[in-house]
């Protein structure tokens, strides 16, 4: 293992010390903990490894919840690991399809394998990197259903499992590999193996759609307001008649839209009393039109991912706003709009207008007591400023009222 820090960590003494050391709450606590451990004659390498793990475990709670305090991480492994909520969705699809054994190829630190094993699926987790495989072995140790192999999936025997879950390595160290043929394994190899058995392929949500094969289901997944992945499903884990789907996982639950193909955009109509922003997964899956038609909404511009209707609707698939006032966009008009609104805090969103929200905020009079959302966009080609209020059962999944937003939607302008 060519990783001195993990070599120092993966010893009985270091792991025992890790379990016995409380996570420091402040920088002063960090220094005090380091001093205490050094005075107890622990080697500096062990102290460093333990303190780094405590820091990573604290960060990992966002992804792994109560599992984090008994897991081991690397910085890169944690960044690339699937969130537990999302991994549970992956495992649930396989189990619902009757899959009882699976190979997790490129398992990383074991996030998806943890979810598979947690649902009783026998999982063989294969990881090429020796150090990462060692962490996966530790993280999956409580599960009798899980076995970890340090090796290359292309050289492994895949005959012993019903299905395959694969997350191709798209980085070489800190370098992102843009050519799919440079991935490990290559995308062509992955697509070929997916024709031979039920497979889920985890990819980046912004991957070139032209690379998506026919006869698979491409599913974009959004977690707490961020599109985190695109998964290609084949075999029995692909749903009949579905080639496009968008799954939105929020704190209040999950919701999904499916289709047999990209949906045509909705008609462009007038701006009504309510404006809706489809979730990024809906935008990436190109299902805006289907979503709009599901509640008689129209688009406000042919190239903008906002839709509007005369009635209020709430859904995890979109954020909703009640339009209070609209004016043609100009700095003078925006200042007057905000000055008359008696606001203390303001969320700024923009699509289709070239403006820096942070710089704009500095010019706006915020001296009142209310809150609102300023939406800068185009309505039927005309630059427009909208003052709006959130409909807001979904506010808990959206950043605070002072956040500037510039949301990217593939196929539509931001």
Residues 6+ apart with CB under 8 A from 358: 404
Bigger pLDDT: 166 vs 392: 166
Instruction: Name 362's Cβ contacts closer than 8 Å, sequence gap at least 6.
Output: none
Q: What angle do CA 124, 192, 233 make, to 5 degrees?
A: 65
For residue 79, is pLDDT > 60?
A: yes
pLDDT at 410 over 70: no
234/247 Cα distance (integer angstroms): 17
Using the predicted structure, report yes or no on whether residue 29 has a pLDDT greater than 50.
Answer: yes
Phi, psi of 178 (to 5 degrees): -90, -25
| CA 100/CA 162 separation, integer angstroms | 7
Section 132-155 average pLDDT:
96
Q: What is the mean pLDDT of the chain?
A: 92
Q: Which of the residue ranges 113-117, 300-304, 306-310, 410-414 would you say has the lowest mean pLDDT?
A: 410-414
Torsion of CA 229, 254, 140, 176, to 10 degrees: 10
Most confident of the ranges 171-185, 276-290, 398-412: 276-290
Domain ranges of the chain: 4-63, 78-240, 274-406
Q: Is a pLDDT exceeding 50 seen at residue 395?
A: no
Q: Provide the pLDDT confidence category of residue 177 given band limits of 50, 70 and 90.
A: confident
pLDDT surpasses 70 at 397: no
- Token pair 């605070």 is found at 400
* Res. 412 pLDDT band, cuts 50 70 90: low
Average pLDDT on 147-175 reads 89
Task: Write out pLDDT tens, residues 262-295.
Answer: 999 999 999 999 999 999 999 999 999 999 999 9
Judge: domain 274-406, CATH 1.10.3470. Answer: no
Pick the CATH number of 78-240 from 3.30.2310.20, 3.30.365.10, 3.30.50.10, 3.40.50.150: 3.40.50.150
pLDDT at 414: 43
Say yes or no: do domains 78-240 and 274-406 share a fold.
no
What are the tens digits of pLDDT across the range 303-356?
Answer: 999 999 999 999 999 999 999 999 999 999 999 999 999 999 999 999 999 999
Whole-prediction pTM value?
0.90
pLDDT at 342: 92
Question: pLDDT category, 209, cuts 50, 70, 90?
Answer: very high
């Amino acid at each position: 293992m060519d990783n001195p820090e993990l070599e120092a960590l993966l010893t009985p003494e270091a792991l025992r010390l890790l379990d016995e050391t409380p996570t420091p709450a402040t920088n002063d606590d960090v220094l005090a903990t380091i001093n205490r451990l050094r005075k107890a004659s622990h080697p500096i390498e062990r102290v460093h490894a333990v303190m780094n793990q405590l820091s990573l475990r604290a960060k990992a709670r966002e992804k792994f919840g109560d599992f984090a305090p008994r897991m081991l991480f690397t910085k890169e492994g944690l960044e690339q690991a699937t969130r537990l909520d999302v991994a549970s969705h992956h495992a649930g699809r396989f189990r619902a399809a009757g899959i009882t054994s699976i190979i997790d190829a490129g398992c990383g630190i074991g996030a998806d394998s943890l979810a598979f094993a947690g649902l009783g699926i026998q999982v063989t987790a294969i990881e090429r990197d020796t150090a990462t495989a060692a962490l996966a072995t530790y993280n999956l140790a409580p599960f009798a259903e899980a076995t970890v192999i340090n090796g290359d999936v292309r050289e492994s025997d895949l005959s012993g499992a019903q299905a395959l879950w694969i997350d191709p390595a798209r980085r070489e160290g800190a370098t992102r590999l843009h050519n799919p043929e440079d991935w490990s394994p290559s995308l062509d190899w992955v697509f070929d193996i997916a024709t031979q058995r039920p497979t889920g392929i985890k990819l980046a949500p912004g991957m070139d759609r032209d690379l998506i094969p026919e006869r698979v289901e491409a599913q974009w997944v959004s977690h707490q307001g961020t599109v985190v992945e695109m998964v290609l499903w084949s075999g029995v884990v692909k749903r009949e008649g579905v080639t496009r789907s968008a799954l939105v996982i929020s704190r209040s639950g999950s919701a999904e839209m499916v289709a047999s193909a990209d949906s045509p955009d909705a008609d462009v109509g007038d701006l009504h009393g309510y404006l809706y922003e489809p979730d990024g997964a809906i935008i990436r899956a190109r299902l805006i039109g289907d979503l709009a038609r599901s509640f008689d909404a129209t688009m406000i511009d042919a190239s903008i991912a906002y839709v509007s209707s005369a009635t209020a609707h709430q859904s995890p698939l979109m954020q909703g706003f009640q339009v209070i006032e609209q004016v043609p966009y100009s700095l003078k008009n925006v200042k007057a709009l905000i000055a008359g609104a008696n606001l203390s805090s303001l969320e700024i969103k923009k699509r289709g207008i070239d403006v820096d929200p942070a710089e704009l905020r500095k010019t706006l009079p915020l001296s009142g007591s209310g809150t609102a959302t300023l939406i800068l966009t185009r309505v039927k080609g005309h630059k427009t400023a909208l003052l709006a209020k959130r409909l807001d059962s979904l506010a808990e999944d959206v950043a605070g009222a002072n956040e500037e937003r510039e949301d990217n939607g593939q196929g539509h302008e931001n």
